[in-house]
Amino acid sequence: MRDVAVIGVGMNKWGEIWEAAIRDLLAESVLLALDDAGIDSVEAMYIGCMSSGLFTHQEHLGSMGPDYAGICPTPGTRVESACASGGAAIRAGYMHVASGLADIVMVAGVEKMTDVDGGGATFALATAADQEYEVYNGVTFPGLYAMMANHHMNKYGTTRDQMAQVAVKNHLNGSKNPLAQFRMKVTLDQVKNSVMVSDPLTLLDCSPITDGSAAVVLCSMDKAKELSKKRLVKIIGSGHASDTIQLSQREDISYLKSTELAAKQALKMAGRKIADIDFAEVHDCFTIAEIMVIEALGIAEVGKGGKATTDGITAFDGKFPVNTSGGLKSKGHPVGATGVAQIVELTRQIRGDVEKDRQLKKANIGLAQNMGGSGGSSVVHILEGM
């Protein structure tokens, strides 16, 4: 397998964007990433997108993506794994370059979620859960994560304040990120007193509905050394695992087995331990999710993710900063774009080119964890500066 580097990144300002269609959103980040890489063409394009069919009635982004980015007849392929679509697209692009079939591949992610009919965004998102055994019985994602939260609280004594602290931390980080959707800081009381969505999760425990895109250019290392004038960022690990799609089929609904397995694969490939990693972007679709993810990754002991959060371990100035971008909570969660935007953030932090007030002092090796559904799939990548 050939070594693969990230040589370009791009991301638009996320939010509720009424003036742009999905094709416009996608093209914007693709053009930014091409510009950042200093190139004007690629050999192939992958597009992470969860459900452009349900959200916008537009499938076949594998044709539309290259077309509207002005790089036809470059082949395009859409990759979907619910909210892990972006991570899965990164992995597909990585393999394309690693195999030797191409030197330069674009990986974009996009979702246009706010202009939706046919049941709305919560219905469309719920298609990532088991329709016949979960959704038809009335549960959508806030309900599924609320069950996981209640189980975690009962089993480990995780508290309401610990969950709320995830939101406080990520909004603080996101308040410094000019591309984030919700840049306001929030307090513990504001999180706890916001409107109840699914007990114990309130509105500010939930990631928002977002329009947005992100893109990265992957390149074989040899070619990257020729082409790039920026610090090269190498993909040193990639992992991917599944779990049962239904919560009810799992041994323990308060543990994310697919995340553990994907991380183990990626760390093994990288020849590292979790303690060697400087920082991470993780899938905080709900506050409880970040707590469970940092446990599955080994950043915190199992059952102590909440305490690690209130202890400040995962804060911007903590021992293991998590979600410096603001995470899904504050930056927003256009589902197909999220996993790609995580790679954008890791690359920028490693290169040292994020805004000064949110630049980590030590950011040489970063990890991205992207998750589908209630953990039915997880993708983990590890990036290192060269």
Binding residues for its own copies (CB under 8 A): 1, 21, 44, 50-54, 56-64, 66-67, 72-82, 84, 88, 91-92, 95-96, 98-101, 118, 124, 127-132, 135, 238, 240-246, 249, 257-258, 261-262, 372-373, 376-377, 379
Q: How far, in Å, CA of 379 to CA of 386, rounded?
A: 23
49 catalytic per annotation: no
Cα dihedral 69, 73, 77, 83 in deg (nearest 10)? 0
Nearer to its own copies, 80 or 284 (CB): 80
| Min dist. Cβ of residue 114 to its own copies (A) | 17
Q: How far, in Å, CA of 343 to CA of 238, rounded?
A: 12
| Min dist. Cβ of residue 213 to its own copies (A) | 17
Nearer to its own copies, 57 or 319 (CB): 57
Q: How far, in Å, CA of 152 to CA of 253, rounded?
A: 8
| Min dist. Cβ of residue 77 to its own copies (A) | 5
Nearer to its own copies, 61 or 337 (CB): 61
Sign of CA dihedral 180, 235, 264, 280: negative
CA angle 12, 17, 23 (to 5 degrees): 70
Find the radius of gyration of the CA atoms of the chain: 19
Nearer to its own copies, 313 or 379 (CB): 379
Q: How many CB atoms lie within 10 A of CB 189?
A: 10
Active-site entry in 96, 152, 171, 333: 333
Nearer to its own copies, 153 or 328 (CB): 328
Nearer to its own copies, 251 or 317 (CB): 251
Strands 4-11 and 233-242: antiparallel
Cis peptide before 208 (omega within 30 of 0): no
Active-site entry in 83, 206, 219, 285: 83
333 catalytic per annotation: yes
Cα dihedral 361, 367, 370, 375 in deg (nearest 10)? -120
Q: How far, in Å, CA of 13 to CA of 28, rounded?
A: 10
Answer whether 30's CB lies under 8 Å from 108's CB: yes
Nearer to its own copies, 79 or 367 (CB): 79
Question: What would the DSSP string read from start to end of 98-131?
Answer: HHTS-SEEEEEEEE--SS--TTHHHHHHHTTS-T
| Min dist. Cβ of residue 111 to its own copies (A) | 12
List Cα–Cα distances, 312 to 33, 165, 278, 300, 359, in angstroms.
34, 9, 15, 11, 17
| Min dist. Cβ of residue 248 to its own copies (A) | 12
Nearer to its own copies, 54 or 383 (CB): 54
CA angle 127, 129, 134 (to 5 degrees): 110
End-to-end Cα, the chain, rounded Å = 18
| Min dist. Cβ of residue 126 to its own copies (A) | 8
| Min dist. Cβ of residue 346 to its own copies (A) | 21
CB half-sphere exposure, 235, CA atoms < 13 A: 31
Relative orientation angle of helices 257-270 and 287-297, to the nearest 10 degrees: 50
Q: Which residues are catalytic?
A: 83, 333
